[in-house]
Amino acid sequence: MKNNCVFCAIAAGEIPCFKVHEDDLVLAYLDINPFTEGHTLVIPKTHTTGLLDTPPDVLGEIVKRVQKIAARLKTALPCDGFNILQNNGPAAGQTVPHLHFHIVPRLGSNTAADISFVNHAGDMDSLKTLAARLAF
Ligand code: 5GP
Ligand code: ZN
């Protein structure tokens, strides 16, 4: 447990939550400020900050849980689809520095526009150059 980490405190039962699922590795509970009905957070019980400091094998196991919990939400809620969101760092909007996956159930058709990522048409030459620079 990391000092002053609110999600560690929730995992330890020191702060209450509306639990959706728990096993040896993860805890899933409703986000206190839901974006949609059923907005759920999935956290590992052991503290890591985000994607990059979590051991890959552990991350794989967490993602399997995310899949299972998303499937449960999709059948148990009115839910036509869902978004998975995982923020890393304040620049990306991460406010709680304990790894977590958001599962955001969506209702209706093409409500993705409600999420405020602003897209713009890509320039093909720039995309080609960038992909070549990033490829490994
Ligand atoms: P982030 O912006 O770091 O990806 O998301 C953190 C999320 O945690 C936010 O959606 C916020 O509403 C939620 N959150 C913060 N504190 C608590 C809490 O004490 N309990 C619950 N259930 N959710 C929390
Ligand atoms: Zn923590």
Q: Which amino acid is located at 132 in the chain?
A: A
Active site residue 100: yes
Question: pLDDT (tens digit, 9 = 90+) per residue, 80-136?
Answer: 999 999 999 999 999 999 999 999 989 886 666 566 655 677 777 777 777 777 767
Q: How many distinct structural domains can be found in the chain? A: 1
Q: What Rg, from alpha-carbon coordinates, does the chain have? A: 17
What mean pLDDT do residues 60-65 have?
Answer: 98
Best mutation site among 49, 96, 103 for ligand 1 pocket (most ligand atoms within 8 Å of CB)? 96
Cβ of 107 below 6 Å from ligand 1: no
Question: pLDDT (tens digit, 9 = 90+) per residue, 53-62?
Answer: 999 999 999 9
Alpha-helical regions (H) of 12-77: 56-76
Looking up residue 84, the CATH number of its domain turns out to be 3.30.428.10
Ligand 1 atom nearest the C-alpha of 85 is 4
Print the domain residue range for 95: 2-134
Give the span between the Cα atoms of 89 and 72, in whole angstroms.
29
Cβ of 87 below 6 Å from ligand 1: yes
Give the span between the Cα atoms of 103 and 35, in whole angstroms.
10
Dihedral over Cα of 68, 6, 38, 52: its sign: negative
